Each structure stands twice: as C-alpha cells, then as structure tokens.
C-alpha cells in the first residue's frame, strides 16, 4: 500500500519476550490517560538504575499497569509482545478489553472484505492505520460465495456456505485468530443483523438446515458463552432485510416475504418486554425489489438514516410521523449495482459510507467518506478519508464495525 500505516497480521512473539534477565534494551509503551501521554519503560534487571525520566514497570501495581494499557490505542497492541509476557497475556486473554469496557474507553474499528481480496482488512476509525487479518481458513465455496457479517464485542462473525453446508466463522480480536462456529440454532442466509454492545442480533433470512424457506425466527449471540439464543418469532417472514439497533431496540426493516413481494413494514424487538412490535409502512416509499440489495440503513446519535440505492440520496427517518426526509446526495454511487457493493455503517456519532465515488475523477478504487448528520441540517458535510487503499476494489463484499 502506498499510503497509511499497514500492520500485517501479527504472529505470536513470545519467543522474543524472554524473561527479565533477557530483556537488555529499554522498550517504551505510550498510553493516554486523561489526555496526557504516559511513558513507561521496561528496564532490564541487570543492575542498571532507572534514569531521571524513567519509571520502572516493576514499581507499578498490576492494577495500575492494566488501567494504563487499557487506554493505549488498539492499533498499538501488537507491540505489547515486545515489552513483557504480562502485557502480551493481558491482550491475548482478552482481559484488557474487559477493563476498557469497565472504564468506558472504547474505539471503533472497521472490518471489511473487498471483492478480489483473500484477507479481511481492519481499519481504525480515522482510516489512518490498517492491517490484514489472517486468511480465513475456509473452503473455496465459502470464499467465493455470499456472506453476512456482524460484530459482537471483540468477535467478528461471518456466516456463509461451505461445501458441507452453512457455517459460521468467528474472528477473535484478542487472539488474532479465526475459529469455526458456533452454529446458529436456525442456520440462515440473507438475514438482518445488528450489533448491540457485546451482543449481536440476527433475524429472518432463508433457512438452510433442511429446506430453503423464508424465516420469521430471530437469535441473539453472546460472545462470552459463544452461543446463540432463540428469541420470539417476528410477525412477518422476511429475507433480504436489514437490521439496526436504536432506542434500545433491535429493528428489522424491509425485505421480501415468502412469495417474493417487497415488504414496506418494519419490526422492533424490545428485549425488556421480550416482544416484537410491527411498524406498518416504515419503508412505504422504498420497498425492496428483485435483484436490489437489502435496505442500506445506519444509526447515528440514535437517529435512523437510509441511503437510497436508486437515487443515491441520504434520508433520515422521522419517528413521530413514520416518514422519511431527504437530506441530500451521498458521495458514492449506490445505484452502480442496485445497492450491492456499498458499505453504509454507523460509526459512533458519524455515518460511514464506502464504495465507488460519485466524483468522476476518483477512479475505480475504494472511496471512504464520513459525516456528522443532523435531522435538521440544510446541507450535509461529507469528509473524504485518504486511507491509502486505492488498490482495493470499490465493490465492498462485507463490512462490519467493532467497538471495543
């Protein structure tokens, strides 16, 4: 890659850590705590005294040490293996991510797979740092077929079909490895999904276990137990639908029924009440049609936005009137392939869109834009991110955002 920082998939480096007597040189770890930079030095135990500006790791309690490490940007975690075995253990065990959640220090990362790529890519929120994930060890059928992806905590879940049937692969951020499973209670494809904190929801789709049929079932994934839990049935069977999480509810929007008819209704699952509420005519102006992608939807600041595939316009959902307001054009060609190949995602208080740029001179490479939308804004201010990935295809196969 010509620009940006590329960090290749990191292998285990325990053999490079050694014990204290083997660590001859000082290794610095930068952390940010309350806006200040903290420099920690791991000194050898060969008798040398710390210098005036040095702070020995041995003088810090394990608890304080872990709190500092939890505030280090995740893009720097691969360097921990060069510092000490304890630092490496905090990352590989996943303990550092639990501490991050406890202190409210979280970062968004974008995981994406472009057409023609063998490996997934992981980007930081500003697309300044990126790295390739280890190659997913699936068969050819899975690699070249349609897939769905969603993040839950520090797990990236990728669902697809291998020669032997539907399968799920999960990438665990802590260990930097792919694992197979766990299978859903009702294996499916072309389903809606959404991330809620450390959990993920899926609903609808086409069942693949015994016979292909449109489903109304829903499930929730727990990364702590690595298991799926069945939820109550939706009111409507639907495939090619989309999902999002808003107002503490899991929304399933649009899609097609078992007869191939486009659906304009939506549904919202309230986990506290354990019930689904049907929302008639939620997509009355833009039902899914044959060969079109599922609705392109994302949530920012608890507001629902939609990228219209036929017009490339961004819309915001007005909850009180159950209607949509046009906010203006988006800087990508969502109409290029009827919505397919476009990534439209929530990125905290921003919206993220990736795909073919609508600017004529942008070329064929992947274009990345973000904006901070507001329902009452007169004009959207899109910001182009120079991520140095012009060699990646503008057709995005899969994309998910992980917050950890």
Return the closest-CA partner of residue 107 out of 173, 170, 158: 173
Q: Tell me the pLDDT tens digit for each residue of 122-153.
A: 999 989 888 899 999 999 999 888 899 999 99
Percentage, residues of the chain above pLDDT 90: 53
Dihedral sign, Cα of residue 357, residue 362, residue 363, residue 365: negative
User: Token match 């360097």: residue?
Assistant: 79
Rg of the chain in Å (alpha carbons): 23
pLDDT band at 8 (very low <50, low <70, confident <90, very high): very low
**DSSP summary character for residue 54:** -
**pLDDT score, position 60:** 64
Name residue, tokens 């070249």: 144
The confidence band for 6, taking pLDDT boundaries of 50, 70 and 90, is very low
- What is the residue whose two structure tokens read 């005036």? 52
Res 156: pLDDT: 98
For 108-147, b/e burial (b = at least 16 CB within 10 A) is bbbbbbbeeeeebbbbbbebebbbbbeebebeeebeeeeb
Q: What is the mean pLDDT of residues 161-183?
A: 93
- Domains in the chain (CATH in brackets) are 5-103 (no CATH), 108-116+123-129+296-394 (no CATH), 136-294 (2.120.10.80)
Task: Find the range with the poorest average confidence among 40-54, 67-81, 222-236, 282-296.
Answer: 40-54
Single out the residue of 48, 59, 50, 39 nearest to residue 21, CA to CA: 48
pLDDT of residue 339 exceeding 70, the answer is: yes
Q: For 263-280, what is the mean pLDDT?
A: 96
Residue 396 has pLDDT above 90, yes or no: yes
pLDDT-derived band at 345, boundaries 50, 70, 90: very high
Q: How confident is the prediction for the chain on average, in pLDDT? A: 82
Q: Is the pLDDT of residue 182 over 90?
A: yes
Is 61 or 229 the better-scoring residue by pLDDT? 229
> Residue 36 has what pLDDT?
33
In 205-280, the DSSP E strands lie at 206-207, 213-214, 218-222, 227-231, 242-246, 249-253, 266-270, 275-279
Decide if pLDDT at 11 tops 60.
no
Which pair of structure tokens corresponds to residue 86?
């304890």
pLDDT for position 84: 78
Confidence of residue 167 (pLDDT cuts 50, 70, 90): very high
Q: Is the pLDDT of residue 286 over 50?
A: yes
pLDDT at 230: 97
Per-residue confidence band for 287, with pLDDT thresholds at 50, 70 and 90: low
Among 20-29, 290-299, 311-320, whose mean pLDDT is lowest?
20-29
When mean pLDDT is compared across 83-97, 159-173, 335-349, the lowest value belongs to 83-97
35, pLDDT greater than 50: no
């Amino acid at each position: 890659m010509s620009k940006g920082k590329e960090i290749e998939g990191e292998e285990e480096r325990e053999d490079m850590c050694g014990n204290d007597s083997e660590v001859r040189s000082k290794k610095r770890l930068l952390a940010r705590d309350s806006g200040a930079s903290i420099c920690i030095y791991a000194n050898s135990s060969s008798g040398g005294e710390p210098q005036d500006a040095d702070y020995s790791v041995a003088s810090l309690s394990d608890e304080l040490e872990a709190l500092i490490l939890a505030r280090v940007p995740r893009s720097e975690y691969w360097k921990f293996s060069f510092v000490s075995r304890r630092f490496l253990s905090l990352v590989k065990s996943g303990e550092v991510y639990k501490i991050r959640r406890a202190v409210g220090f979280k970062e968004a990362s974008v995981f994406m797979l472009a057409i023609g790529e063998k490996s997934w890519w992981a980007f930081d929120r500003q697309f300044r740092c990126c790295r390739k994930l280890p190659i997913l060890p699936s068969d050819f059928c899975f690699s070249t077929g349609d897939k769905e992806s969603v993040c839950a905590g520090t797990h990236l879940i990728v669902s697809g079909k291998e020669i032997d049937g539907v399968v799920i692969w999960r990438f665990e951020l802590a260990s930097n490895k792919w694992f197979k499973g766990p299978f859903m209670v009702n294996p499916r494809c072309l389903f809606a999904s959404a991330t809620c904190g450390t959990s993920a929801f899926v609903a609808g789709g086409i069942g693949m276990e015994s016979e292909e049929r449109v489903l109304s079932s829903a499930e929730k994934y727990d990364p702590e137990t690595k298991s799926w839990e069945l939820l109550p049935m939706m009111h409507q069977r639907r495939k090619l639908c989309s999902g999002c999480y808003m107002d503490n509810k899991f929304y399933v929007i649009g899609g097609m029924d078992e007869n191939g008819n486009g659906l304009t209704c939506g549904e919202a699952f309230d986990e506290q009440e354990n019930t689904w509420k049907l929302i008639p005519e939620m997509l009355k102006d833009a039902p899914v049609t044959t060969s079109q992608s599922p609705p392109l939807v994302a949530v920012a600041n608890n507001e629902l936005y939609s990228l219209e595939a036929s017009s490339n316009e961004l819309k915001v959902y007005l909850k009180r009137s159950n209607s949509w307001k046009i906010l203006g054009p988006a800087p990508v060609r969502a109409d290029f392939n009827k919505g397919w190949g476009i990534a439209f995602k929530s990125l905290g208080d921003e919206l993220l869109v990736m795909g073919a740029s609508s600017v004529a001179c942008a070329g064929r490479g992947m274009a990345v834009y973000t904006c901070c939308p507001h329902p009452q804004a007169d004009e959207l201010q899109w910001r182009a991110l120079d991520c140095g990935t012009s060699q990646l295809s503008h057709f995005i196969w899969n994309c998910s955002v992980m917050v950890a």
